[in-house]
Amino acid sequence: MYQELDPAKAYRLLESGPVLLVTTSDGERHNVMTMGFHMMLQHEPPLVACVIGPWDHSFDTLQATGECVLAVPTVDLAEQVTKIGNCSGVDVDKFAVHGLTAQRAKTVAAPLIRECIANLECRVADEAMVERYNMFILEVTRIRIDGARAERRLIHHAGDGVFIADGEAVDMGRHMKRWRYLMDD
Amino acid sequence: MYQELDPAKAYRLLESGPVLLVTTSDGERHNVMTMGFHMMLQHEPPLVACVIGPWDHSFDTLQATGECVLAVPTVDLAEQVTKIGNCSGVDVDKFAVHGLTAQRAKTVAAPLIRECIANLECRVADEAMVERYNMFILEVTRIRIDGARAERRLIHHAGDGVFIADGEAVDMGRHMKRWRYLMDD
């Protein structure tokens, strides 16, 4: 039931601002962290800007390997997402503790998370703003979607542990002109 | 019914990734554009990264004045938000055409939008990434909330004119440790 999505369509998953899990692998162990500060930076090639700081155990691994996976959780994972954001991979194997299953990615060594509806494989494209703002710029190299999931509502961190789940969809596509060329299905 | 919110709480409005309206003023005329690519960059002082490019009529004014307002629309404004994103301020007075009311800000010359639930006054803090990525870094200098609005659901652009309105709130604050110090109410 897994489907590939063109990496150039990353904005469909990320522009709405869902909280993400970020996985890295140092070759010996996987780690995972929660991330709320990220944005689409450019449609094509698909670039994502995000904030991962030295206070995150993943920071060193991301710098050393230049690879990560952005995994998109749905509302049923809200408690795990919060707990993952409140403990450090220095102390524990967060995949095991939080009941997540690592799966092999295709373009990076960092693992996919089976429990997430989408996984975006990424490589670091630009580190120029890491020193000043802990901002990494990532290029999306592959997207895998789990088409079989019943729960599809993403969650958006409104701060302080409050998440807002996706609600009603409002389709204004009929008023779109400037970005029509991006719509091919 | 207007309330001031500490600028250091900007993340409560922006981290969930709502689509925003951005206003600028060149001293003669106001302009407004729709923006989906933005993120919280830092809690305090509150910095926001966003993408505004030379294809946007607001780009020159933002560079020249170093000031803008990030206005947060709710779901009842979805059609206006879309239409504003699909026409240019070169041709029309977008405030008049789209039924928006400009109000005077306190810390910047760009106008607030009365119809929006929140308005964040901002000044450009860093233009180092404008040339490469059209990325501006803004510091939030004042936040005004409209406490009287009945409709409070923000909208999140999922791409191609589809907006997702805020749904169910899931409060996981009991599991929060790392950012507890930011919670004071």
Chain A's closest residue to B179, CA to CA, is: A160
Exposure string (b/e) for A1-36, b if CB count within 10 Å is 16 or more?
Answer: eeeebebebbbbbbbbbbbbbbbbbbeeebbbbbbb
Across A48-57, A172-181, B102-111, B150-159, least confident range: A172-181
Cβ(A107)–Cβ(A144) below 8 Å: no
Picking from A162-166, B38-42, B54-58, B139-143, which range would have the lowest pLDDT averaged per residue?
A: B54-58
Tokens of B100: 């928006």
Mean pLDDT of A6-35: 96
- Per cent of chain B over pLDDT 90 is 82
Asked if pLDDT for residue B48 goes beyond 80, the answer is yes
Is the Cβ–Cβ distance between B73 and B155 less than 8 Å? yes
Share the mean pLDDT of chain B. 93
Question: Looking at the predicted complex, does its ipTM rise above 0.90?
Answer: yes
Minimum distance, in Å, between the CA of residue B133 and any CA atom of chain A: 7
DSSP letter at A179 equals T
Contacts of A167 in chain B (CB under 8 A): 153, 164-168
Residues B65-78 have pLDDT tens digits of 999 999 999 999 99
Query: Terminus-to-terminus CA distance in chain B, angstroms?
Result: 19
Contact A102, A111 (CB under 8 A): yes
Q: Which two tokens stand for residue A47?
A: 């670039």
Q: What is the DSSP string of B7-55?
A: GGGHHHHHTT---EEEEEE-SS-EEEEEE--EEEEETTTTEEEEE--TT
Among chain A residues, the shortest Cα distance to B40 is held by A37
Q: What is the distance, to the nearest Å, from the Cα of residue A178 to the centroid of all Cα atoms in its chain? A: 27
Please tell me which of the candidates A12, A155, A160 has its beta carbon nearest to residue B170: A155
Render the burial of B97-124: b for 16+ CB within 10 Å, e for the rest: ebebebeebeebbbbbbebbbbbbbbeb
Q: Which two tokens stand for residue A143?
A: 């997207």
- Facing residue for A15 by CB, picked from B83, B128, B159: B159
- Give the mean pLDDT of chain A: 93
